Copies of this chain bind each other. A is one copy, B any other.
Amino acid sequence: VNLLLVGSFADDEGAAWAEALRQALPSHHLLLDRKPGLAIDVAIVANPPPGSLRGLAGLRLIQSLWAGVDRLLGDETLPAGVPIARMVDPAMNEAMAETALWATLSLQRGFYRYAEQQQQALWRQLPQPRADEWPVLLLGYGQMGRQVARRLAQQGYPVTAWRRHAATAEAAPGVTLCQGRAALQLALAGARVLINLLPLTADTRGLIDAELLARLPPGAAVVNLARGAHLVDADLLAALDSGAIGHAVLDVFQVEPLPAPHPYWRHPKVTVLPHAAALTDLRSAAAMVAANIETLARGGTPTHLVRRDAGY
């Protein structure tokens, strides 16, 4: 089949993807540019510029290299009726679990505060709560949420995972599942750390606002690993400055890269990551894409298809 790779790549990232995909799909034809008269079967996309896929007749699959497809679905020129598959990469899920565990350990044990103290050459021991005294609330329980929940529970944290809707997914050992608005309000009141892993949809945009933050106990922390637009920045900054929220770990922002003058960069209670909580792993991601394309070539149905109406 004919494959077209389209994305907004930094530096030689596009070349690295092309190389990994060609190795994983040796019997198919990968193009980096549209050629007049050549029909494309599969578009492999990574944050493609809007309009990139316009007019691609005969397209049978759009395979995203990103797990989040909110920007992709926002492109109104996207060919209608073509199935979209998102990236589900076990190595990426594991990377997300590592970041969530690192942030939770850092918050529980005061390691962000020790880093601040180091800057002042200040020698002072902080309280040492146990993991079982440090409840974590996850928003979202998809592929990534499940791996995050499993790792945190394995390390001894009481984990509650909240979903917007009841679903059939089973809870991992040590994980409590809940759903709906009322359950969320209850769960917020008991959480030391709130970790956001939701998909960005019309329903979840701006979910983490002043009202939600006010339901967390004093000094609780916010860890946003999903999308910048889930969070109302002004509300978070106000809660940090009043002390209502103790710390925030932010990997995603309304505008990326985060502009240099943004107050998050220099806020003593904010840890900024450059959208690096879970990078796609070229090796395992190319293998997942290849499996989907071989399935399609054999006439089967690719996995991890997006529901366009749900937005993820």
Contacts and interface: CB of A to CB of B under 8 A. Distances in A.
Nearest to A97: B155
A257 interface: yes
A114 interface: yes
Given A98-B108, A131-B94, A114 B276 contact: yes
Contacts of A154: 154
A114 B274 contact: yes
A102 interface: yes
Given A94-B131, A105-B105, A154-B154, A275 B125 contact: yes
B117 A109 contact: no
A285 to B, nearest CB: 12
A271 interface: yes
Interface in A127-164: 128, 130-131, 151, 154-156
Interface residues of A, number: 44
Interface string A99-121: 10110011011110011011001
B95 A128 contact: yes
A111 B121 contact: no
A214 interface: no
B128 A276 contact: yes
19 contacts: A91-B130, A95-B130, A99-B109, A101-B105, A101-B155, A102-B111, A111-B273, A114-B273, A115-B271, A117-B274, A118-B265, A118-B272, A121-B258, A123-B274, A125-B274, A125-B275, A125-B279, A128-B276, A154-B154
